[in-house]
């Protein structure tokens, strides 16, 4: 007696689980000490900004629970920028001059992170403060 294996069938679209939305950014916030802010402005050659203009920072990497947080402080030129680094619950402990992430998307442009960053690129993560349409055409909504 031979038994046949049932042939898998496609699940109708109406019965499929929703496609998961893009993962969120970290959003850990900190304040850049004035001395580091002044240093970042000097490295960038910006004489018009003040330390108060760049002191509020937010980690824009994909959500993570360990390791350092990173935030863009100021662009230096077309392909490098000053980034602040800190651990959760602390003030930034370092400024780093890092090259921009070279990856780009034909519809969404270049990634706004640094080269070699962990997690998704700018267009692959959800930032509730800077919503971007997803690659599937849906729009991001904030509540």
Q: Which residues contact 25 (CB under 8 A, 6 or more apart)?
A: 59, 60, 61, 62, 63, 125, 126, 127
pLDDT tens per residue across span 95-107: 999 999 999 998 8
pLDDT tens per residue across span 36-94: 999 999 999 999 999 999 999 999 999 999 999 999 999 999 899 999 999 999 999 99
Predicted TM-score (pTM) of the model is 0.76
**DSSP type of residue 121:** -
């Amino acid at each position: 007696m031979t038994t046949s294996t049932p042939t898998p069938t496609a699940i109708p679209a109406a019965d499929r689980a929703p496609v998961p939305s893009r993962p969120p950014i970290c959003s850990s916030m900190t304040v850049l000490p004035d001395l580091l802010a002044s240093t970042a402005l000097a490295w960038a050659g910006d004489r018009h900004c003040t330390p108060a203009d760049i002191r509020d920072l937010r980690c824009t990497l994909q959500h993570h629970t360990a390791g350092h947080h990173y935030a863009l402080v100021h662009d230096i030129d077309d392909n490098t920028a000053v980034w602040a680094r800190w651990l959760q619950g602390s003030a930034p402990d370092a400024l780093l001059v890092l090259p921009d992430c070279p990856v780009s998307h034909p519809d969404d442009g270049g990634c706004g992170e640094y080269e070699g960053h962990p997690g998704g690129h700018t267009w692959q993560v959800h930032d509730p403060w800077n919503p971007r349409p997803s690659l599937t055409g849906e729009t991001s909504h904030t509540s």
